[in-house]
Amino acid sequence: MAGKFVSMRNLKFLLYEVFDTVALTRNPYYSQHNQKSFDLVLDASMKLAQKMLFPLFEEMDRKAPYLEDGQVKVHPAVRAIMKEFGEGGWIGATFPEAWDGEQLPGILHCACQLIKSSANYSAGVYAGLTAGAARLIHSFAAEHLKTTYLPNMMAGKWQGTMALTEPQAGSSLSDITTTAYPTDKGHYLLKGQKVFISAGDHDGVDNVVHMLLARIDGAPQGVKGISLFLVPKKRPDEKGRLVPNDVSVSQVFHKMGYRGAPITELSFGDKDDCRGFLVGEPNRGLMHMFQMMNEARIGVGLGAAAIASAAYYAALEYCQTRPQGRKVGAKDPSAPQIPIIEHADVRRMLLFQRAVVEGSEGLLMQCALYEDFLRTTPPEEHLKYELLLELLTPMAKSYPSEMGILSTSQAIQCLGGYGYCEDFPVEQHFRDCRIHPIHEGTTGIQGMDLLGRKVVMKEGRALALFLEEARNNIAEARSVAGLEALSQKLEEALQTLEQVTGHLVGLIGKRGVEIFLADATLYLEMFGIIAVAWQWLLQAAVAQKALQGKPKTTDLPFYRGKLVTARYFFAYELPKIKGLYQRLTDTDALTVEMDSSYFND
């Protein structure tokens, strides 16, 4: 197995050179930190990843979770991993110190997550879900729930989950039927089924805490009748002992990848004794849950980028060391073979992977930074960052997820036949990565969210803010010698985005909302490419300026590699919007107007 899975040099480039992470420490909320303490946190992440997570990457795939006597059994190391994530402060990394958290900036936490998830995506999921559930409790739950549940979750002793999907509803949350019956004892009695619940049960923790969506008996139909509940697997009785809470596992799914963590189907209240506690306001559950879902969506993009990173470095190592063939045109068959990284087509495949990985990392950190700005800027600026974050979330989720499939696939291709075999890690990366366009809202759902909600909300304000941000960065990049062409290409891409958006929004009145949204997935694809091009221009500008200064000799390959990868993105990836432009402005309503019977035969 390859030894490298992520580039610390690149993460520090993003944290300290592209984004001014250290500036956050001038704000009181983050004033206990400085670059030195940030570096220590990064080093600790890397140590955890190298010593504990990466060595288990393959084994946790091969020994997948299984159900035995109603209990999901996971790899024995999961308990130690959860303990380490708890005691090391990783679950509470962004929690306030008042709740025993580390109060770290989100952007730094993002870098740490990239390190850990690239070492072993599945292993990081347990803690990530627990942190998300804990944040939801912290934001909306009553004090007695916080004191009962948060300390155990943040210590990694209790698992947290998101329990949304139901067998008959899938992506259509308005159709969930799990019901909460009020009692006069302060709790509700829950009854229903949930499906595809990650880490929904396992023996690596002492308890599981489900953040569950259900309808209070008699609530309105549709999404306006959904409430949020905390439902533990075991509930503390009056003496504080944990007793079963009538939550049972009906199955654990056998998955193609992402096998280090279980996905479960759960049954609540089979014996009419499943107690849940309302979190937040009745019938506003979906709105509350969106806090965790948005965070989880960015987390999914992060997982995909991390897996693509690990696959890229495995492929890179192979290409640097595997001799095969000679330069095109070299005629002497007795000359020694060259490492395959010397072949142009192999470099193209590597540049593609690097462009996806580092472009995605930039976009994810950008989102994390906007979230940090919500804590460090005056309230009158919050709307701006909220809107930018809302707008960019579908791309931050979907671009790495969709491109992760292609990127890990190219990693396999770099290794040829070996890449298809279990002796190398890239086939597992390819299998692991395929989950991401599905969970936390499929790519199709993200497209509808982007075009049908985010782009049109507040009269297009979010999109206008994005264009303004990008154009400010273009103006800065234009002033850097050598970046005129890339700057101009991004400006043209933004104009394409404006044209397409105008055309599509114009369809709402002219041809109806169904035709307007028919190709929303392709609009998302186009916007994703442009958003990542924006990030590449930011990175190129920093690298170019560094090269025009007096960089250390040892830094030269890194900065030059950055620039080449940026040029690759603008030369090979950005042109893909040309075809998308043609499709998106050619509204023939093919998929809306056809009859489903045409698929017969």
Q: Hey, which residues are catalytic here?
A: 440
Contact between 3 and a copy of itself by CB under 8 A: the answer reads: no
Q: Report how far residue 536's alpha carbon sits from residue 517's, in angstroms, rounded to the nearest whole number.
A: 29
Closer residue to a copy of itself (CB): 379 or 549: 549
DSSP 254: -
Contact between 438 and a copy of itself by CB under 8 A: the answer reads: yes
Contact between 172 and a copy of itself by CB under 8 A: the answer reads: yes
- Contact in structure between 376 and 27 (CB atoms under 8 Å): yes
Scan residues 212-241 and list those touching a copy of itself (CB under 8 A): 221-223
Residue 588's Cβ-count burial label (10 Å; 0-12, 13-18, 19+) is exposed
Closer residue to a copy of itself (CB): 384 or 436: 436
Q: Could you give the C-alpha distances from 29 to 18, 52, 112, 364, in angstroms and in order?
A: 22, 31, 20, 22
- Least spacing, CB of residue 94 vs a copy of itself, in Å: 28
- Least spacing, CB of residue 156 vs a copy of itself, in Å: 26
Closer residue to a copy of itself (CB): 468 or 586: 586
How many chain residues interact with a copy of itself (CB under 8 A)? 113
Among 52, 311, 435, 486, binds a copy of itself (CB under 8 A): 435
- Contact in structure between 160 and 92 (CB atoms under 8 Å): no
Closer residue to a copy of itself (CB): 328 or 481: 328
- Contact in structure between 282 and 227 (CB atoms under 8 Å): yes
Provide DSSP, 288-303.
HHHHHHHHHHHHHHHH
- Least spacing, CB of residue 533 vs a copy of itself, in Å: 13
Contact between 601 and a copy of itself by CB under 8 A: the answer reads: yes
**How many CA atoms, within 13 angstroms, populate the side-chain half-sphere of residue 167?**
8
Q: Report how far residue 389's alpha carbon sits from residue 377's, in angstroms, rounded to the nearest whole number.
A: 15
Closer residue to a copy of itself (CB): 28 or 599: 599
- Least spacing, CB of residue 515 vs a copy of itself, in Å: 8
- Contact in structure between 524 and 398 (CB atoms under 8 Å): yes
- Least spacing, CB of residue 445 vs a copy of itself, in Å: 9
Contact region for a copy of itself (CB under 8 A) — 107-115, 334-342, 367-375, 498-506? Answer: 334-342
For 69-128, what is the HEC assignment? CCEEECCCHHHHHHHHHHHCCCCCCCCCHHHCCCCCCHHHHHHHHHHHHHHCHHHHHHHH
Among 59, 87, 175, 381, binds a copy of itself (CB under 8 A): 175
Among 133, 316, 494, 542, binds a copy of itself (CB under 8 A): 316
CA quadruple 499, 500, 503, 507: dihedral, nearest 10: -160
- Contact in structure between 176 and 164 (CB atoms under 8 Å): yes
Scan residues 195-214 and list those touching a copy of itself (CB under 8 A): 195-196
- Contact in structure between 158 and 209 (CB atoms under 8 Å): yes
Q: Could you give the C-alpha distances from 358 to 154, 219, 470, in angstroms and in order?
A: 30, 46, 18
Contact region for a copy of itself (CB under 8 A) — 67-75, 123-131, 273-281, 580-588? Answer: 580-588
Closer residue to a copy of itself (CB): 444 or 460: 444
Contact between 67 and a copy of itself by CB under 8 A: the answer reads: no
Closer residue to a copy of itself (CB): 7 or 25: 7
Closer residue to a copy of itself (CB): 234 or 255: 255
Scan residues 239-258 and list those touching a copy of itself (CB under 8 A): 253-258
Comparing C-alpha atoms, which of 495, 478, 496, 498 is closest to residue 487? 478
CA quadruple 320, 322, 325, 330: dihedral, nearest 10: 40
Among 63, 347, 471, 478, binds a copy of itself (CB under 8 A): 347
Place of tokens 């708890």: 86
- Least spacing, CB of residue 324 vs a copy of itself, in Å: 5
Among 20, 272, 345, 484, binds a copy of itself (CB under 8 A): 345
Among 18, 131, 205, 346, binds a copy of itself (CB under 8 A): 346
Torsion sign across C-alpha atoms 319, 404, 15, 559: positive
Strand 188-198 versus strand 227-232 pairing type: unpaired
User: What does residue 177 show for φ and ψ, rounded to 5 degrees?
Assistant: -125, -5
- Contact in structure between 226 and 176 (CB atoms under 8 Å): yes
Scan residues 382-421 and list those touching a copy of itself (CB under 8 A): 405, 409, 412-413, 416-417, 419-421
Provide DSSP, 444-486.
HHHHHHIIIIITTGGGGHHHHHHHHHHHHHHHHHHTSTT-HHH
Contact region for a copy of itself (CB under 8 A) — 169-177, 283-291, 367-375, 390-398? Answer: 169-177
Contact between 170 and a copy of itself by CB under 8 A: the answer reads: yes
Closer residue to a copy of itself (CB): 20 or 423: 423
Q: How many residues does the chain have?
A: 601
- Least spacing, CB of residue 333 vs a copy of itself, in Å: 3
Contact between 528 and a copy of itself by CB under 8 A: the answer reads: no
Contact region for a copy of itself (CB under 8 A) — 80-88, 144-152, 299-307, 571-579? Answer: 571-579
Comparing C-alpha atoms, which of 28, 84, 65, 501 is closest to residue 254? 65
Closer residue to a copy of itself (CB): 317 or 371: 317
Contact between 505 and a copy of itself by CB under 8 A: the answer reads: no
Scan residues 539-558 and list those touching a copy of itself (CB under 8 A): 557-558
Scan residues 258-297 and list those touching a copy of itself (CB under 8 A): 258, 263
Contact region for a copy of itself (CB under 8 A) — 37-45, 115-123, 315-323, 373-381? Answer: 315-323
Contact flags string 20-59 toward a copy of itself, x per CB under 8 A = ----------------------------------------
